[in-house]
A and B are shown apart, each in its own frame.
Chain A
Amino acid sequence: MKYIDEYRDTEQVRSLVRAIRKVVTKPWHIMEICGGQTHAIARYRLEEMLPEKVRLLHGPGCPVCVTPVGIIDRALGLAKRQDVILASFGDMMRVPGSREDLLRAKAHGADVRMLYSPLDAVDLAVRYPDKQIVFFAIGFETTAPVHMMALKEAIRRKLDNFSLLTSLFMVPPAIEAILTDAGSRVDGFLTAGHVCAITGNGDYHHLAARYKTPMVVTGFEPADLLYGIYRCLLQLEAGIYKVENAYKRAVPEEGNPAARALMAEMLESCDQEWRGIGIIPQSGMRLKEAFARYDTARRFPLPADEQPLCDSAPSVGRERCIAGDIMRGIKQTKDCPFFGTYCTPEHPAGAPMVSSEGVCAAYYKYK
């Protein structure tokens, strides 16, 4: 496949590994903050190929994993209503709320649809005028404007039976939270190429300068990832810190202006809970007041008997799930007492195990 195979090429990857070995003199911790990158790193076992001094930390880069339990329970509650069709991405289907997941709700009779695109949910609204179509709209800045596009289309087609149950996150505030965490060990960041393809690199310049930390915009194929790591290491070894773009074929400096305009028009920032981490101020997005009628949370107020359970880290005996520490780069999956025993992809306990993009699930799959 063009633009993929070139960046998986064996020789390319080997020469990058050699180049990395040549530049590294000191120990460094580099964090990627994108589930797709975490997945690729685990799948191609890139960590094994790096010199021992270079350690990769895997940040909270999977929107499926960090979606709070409360809102999943909300989705489950709505799915059970006779007049609701609840639609979302395949990866949301198995993510556990406090009692069950969407696949189980479906088995018990809820109308749950798995879609490739939020735009497909608009078609559902046309096809089922007597039903309320609720799209469980999770995502980072890459996916948020896609949800907005779907909503725009629903409004254009005058569909009143369409709404979004949003769980939207922003990467820069999460990076800032990690950088200001006393326990943080992160020396440099690989920023998520496809988030930057939308947002551009503006916010990251500010972060790199303020926290004296290199930020390298990085792609998703093995050579892309190693190239991002290489550029990051060059900066670290030279004592410089700036934003560099190692994924230029997909990321222009200003991102995607049309998508950004759509987000600016329809979304505003809000405090946001991240599963396993807690609330990070101004790290989420929600629909502006003008679009309140399409906001599922505002349109269908929560019944009193269905208050969400609070999301506490699961514990067994004296041991506690360390998902939050893992996602902030303080601990690693291998430090977790539950990994592979109490916590597996079939029965996930912590956020990074719930979707295949979570670092624990990626490690479990490709261990």
Chain B
Amino acid sequence: MITTNCPLPFTDSDCVLLAHGGGGRLTHELISGIFYPAFRNPLLEQDHDGCVFPVEARRMACSTDSFVVDPIFFPGGDIGDLAVNGTVNDLACCGARPLYLTAGFILEEGLPLSDLRRIVGSMKAAAERAGVQIVAGDTKVVERGKCDKLFINTSGIGVVREGVRISPDRAQPGDVVICSGPIGPHGITILSARESLGFETNLKSDTVSLNNMIAGLLDSIEDVHVLRDPTRGGVSGTLNEIAQAAGVEIILDEASLPIPDAVRGASEILGLDPLYVANEGLVLAILPEEKADKALAIMRNCPEGKGAAIIGHIAMKGKPLVKMKTLYGNYRIVDMLSGEQLPRIC
């Protein structure tokens, strides 16, 4: 049968269409149907080109980070909570109390809306856990193949209390390096999910916001010198940056590194070094040795700091260097990574 009816455009879709980014009805539906219900707060609902808010602080911290992780869902998290936790942790490591985030989405045409909903839901949960609000956002849709499913940028601001001075150049002799938990689970979990290296593991990404634990630390210990989350480049990359900034030699103790068995197993078969593997729920705290016990007690009292341990100390001013005391009592240099860490067979 031939119909003479003019076909109406589809208005409902189960995946992202270019029109979702076109600024028209579908864009509106996306915002009011997915983003607003999840992130709802008075600041966001100003419905303005930006967000206006009052602040009573003399010093603020600001940070931004983009998230392109593949796969977008992985054991222990997804790109959504990673995007919130990442920026929250960067702010917390500046010694700030994170307040507000913005979220920018670049969506690939064809992304299932159910995936987007799930990711936005994770962002909502992560933001609630961290006690931050998402106050502004943006969405763009690009043609298939121009991005991989979705990319998220989050930017955030936080306030820094009087007296708190956290900076990588403050690491000094007499300080210890505390690692808040097990090294490597996030990076190895992501690797395990990649098809080319596929392996099964009970490991989960450690992605979590650290600002509550860090606030506890800063409330009780005045002279925390450095806080850093060892994401890309791993513990080794981060410590090398600190050594450079402060002009100090950092000495790690191989025997005290908290490396879970499964991380070791994966590292052995793929020929990787856990010290270069990315973490998303870990903080390295550098503070005077006499405060270490107190700091450890505070951190271990939080679920995200249960495995906190001293992994090294700042030896001396001088040539910026990270060394490791091996199991056998000799020392080797722990360098920055040359390029990307690739699995090896030999």
A91 with B346: in contact, given A114-B196, A344-B338 (CB under 8 Å)?
Answer: yes
A345 touches B339 (CB 8 A): yes
Report the separation of the CA atoms of residues A357 and B343 in the bound assembly, to the nearest whole angstrom. 12
Q: Chain A interface: which of B12-20, B42-50, B245-253, B328-336?
A: B328-336
- CA gap between A169 and B14 in the complex, in Å: 54
Q: From A43, A45, A367, name the one whose CB has the most chain B CB atoms within 10 angstroms.
A: A45
Q: Mark B18-42, 1 if CB is under 8 A from A, else 0.
A: 0000000000000000000000000
1-41 of chain A: CB within 8 A of chain B: 1, 4, 8, 10, 13-14, 35-36
With known contacts A1-B268, A116-B196, A10–B328 Cβ distance under 8 A: yes
The residues of B that contact A365 with a CB separation of less than 8 Å are 333, 335, 338
Interface residues of A in 76-107 (CB under 8 A from B): 89-91, 93-94, 103
Q: Across the two chains, which residue of chain A brings its CB closest to B344?
A: A91
Does A64 belong to the interface (CB within 8 Å)? yes
The contact of B332 among A45, A344, A345, by CB within 8 Å, is A45
- Residue from A4, A42, A48, A113 within 8 A of B268 (CB atoms): A4
Let me know if A1 and B261 touch, CB within 8 A.
Answer: yes
CB neighbours (8 Å) of B265 from chain A are 1
Distance between Cα atoms of A49 and B270 in the complex (Å): 28
Q: Are A222 and B328 in contact (CB under 8 A)?
A: yes
Q: How far is the CB of A3 from chain B (nearest CB, A)?
A: 11
Enumerate A163-214 residues with CB–CB distance to B below 8 Å.
none
Please state if A90 and B342 are interface contacts (CB–CB under 8 Å): yes
| Bound: A115/B345 CA distance, A | 10
Interface residues of B in 219-270 (CB under 8 A from A): 261, 264-265, 268, 270
Cα distance A346–B337 in the bound complex, in angstroms:
10
Flag if A14 contacts B343 (CB, 8 Å): no
Asked whether any CB of chain A lies closer than 8 Å to the CB of B327, the reply is: yes
Given contacts A10-B327, A116-B196, A367-B333, contact A143 B261 (CB under 8 A): no
Which residue of chain A lies nearest to B254 when distances are taken between CB atoms in the complex? A44
What 0/1 pattern do residues 337 to 367 of A give for CB contact below 8 A with B? 0000000111000000001110000001111
- Which partner residue on chain B sits nearest A93 by CB separation? B342
Verify A8–B346 contact, CB threshold 8 A: no
Whether A35 lies near B346 (C-beta < 8 A) is: yes
One of A10, A90, A139 near B343 (C-beta < 8 A): A90
Q: How far is the CB of B270 from chain A (nearest CB, A)?
A: 7
A323 close to B (CB within 8 Å): no
Whether a CB of chain B sits under 8 angstroms from the CB of A62 is yes
Assembly CA distance A83 to B265 (angstroms): 37
Please measure, in the bound complex, the distance between the C-alpha atom of A65 and the C-alpha atom of B265, giving whole angstroms.
Answer: 26
Query: Is B197 interfacial (CB 8 A cutoff)?
Result: yes
Give the residues from 288 to 335 in chain B that come closer than 8 angstroms, CB to CB, to chain A.
Answer: 326-333, 335
Note all chain B residues with C-beta closer than 8 A to A345.
338-339
Interface on chain B toward A: helix, strand, loop, or mixed SS? loop
Residue of A nearest to B333 (CB): A367
* B344, A357: Cβ atoms closer than 8 Å: yes
Do B342 and A114 touch (CB < 8 A)?
yes
In chain A between 45 and 59, which residues have their CB closer than 8 angstroms to a CB of chain B? 45, 48-49
- Measured between beta carbons, the chain A residues less than 8 angstroms from B339 are 94, 103, 345-346
List the A side residues contacting B270 at CB < 8 Å: 90, 116
Residues of A within 8 A of B332 (CB): 42-45, 366-367
Please determine whether B328 and A62 come into contact, CB atoms closer than 8 angstroms.
Answer: no
A357 touches B346 (CB 8 A): yes
CB pair B345–A143 under 8 Å, yes or no, is: yes
- Verify A346–B338 contact, CB threshold 8 A: yes
* CB <8 Å contact, B261 and A113: no
Chain A residue at minimal CB-CB distance from B197 = A116
Contacts of A103 in B (CB 8 A): 339-340
A63 at the interface (CB under 8 A from B): yes
Closest residue of B by beta carbon distance from A47: B330
The digit string for B194-236, where 1 denotes a CB below 8 A from any CB of A, is 0011000000000000000000000000000000000000000
Q: Does A268 lie at the interface of the complex (its beta carbon under 8 Å from any beta carbon of B)?
A: no
Q: How far is the CA of A120 from the CA of B345 in the complex (A)?
A: 14
> Separation in Å of the A109 CB from the closest CB of chain B?
13
Residue among A4, A10, A90, A93 with the highest chain B CB neighbour number at 10 A? A90
Give the chain B neighbours of A139 by CB distance below 8 A. 345-346
Q: 8 Å CB contacts to B: which residues of A108-143?
A: 113-116, 120, 139, 143
Most buried by A among B196, B268, B346: B346
Q: Which residues of A contact B197 (CB under 8 A)?
A: 114-116
Shortest beta-carbon distance from A276 to chain B in Å: 16
Closest residue of chain B to A48 (Cβ to Cβ) is B330
How far in angstroms is the closest Cβ of chain A from B260? Answer: 12
B326 with A45: CB separation less than 8 A:
yes
Q: Closest approach, in angstroms, between the C-beta of A366 and any C-beta of chain B? A: 5
Q: B346 touching A62 by the CB < 8 A rule?
A: yes
- Is the beta-carbon distance between A91 and B333 smaller than 8 angstroms? no
Query: When chains A and B are docked, how far (Å) is the Cα of A114 from the Cα of B270?
Result: 12
Q: List 29 A-B contacts (CB under 8 A).
A: A1-B261, A8-B327, A13-B328, A14-B328, A44-B326, A44-B327, A45-B326, A45-B331, A48-B330, A49-B328, A49-B330, A62-B346, A64-B344, A64-B346, A89-B345, A90-B270, A91-B345, A91-B346, A93-B342, A103-B339, A113-B196, A115-B196, A139-B346, A143-B346, A346-B338, A355-B346, A356-B271, A357-B346, A365-B335
Interchain residue pairs A-B with the least CB separation, the first 5: A90-B342, A345-B338, A90-B343, A91-B344, A89-B345
New contact pairs (8) apart from A345-B338, A367-B332, CB-CB < 8 Å = A44-B328, A63-B346, A64-B344, A90-B271, A344-B338, A345-B339, A357-B346, A365-B333
**Residue ranges of A at the interface with B (Cβ–Cβ < 8 Å):** 1, 4, 8, 10, 13-14, 35-36, 42-45, 48-49, 62-64, 89-91, 93-94, 103, 113-116, 120, 139, 143, 222, 344-346, 355-357, 364-367
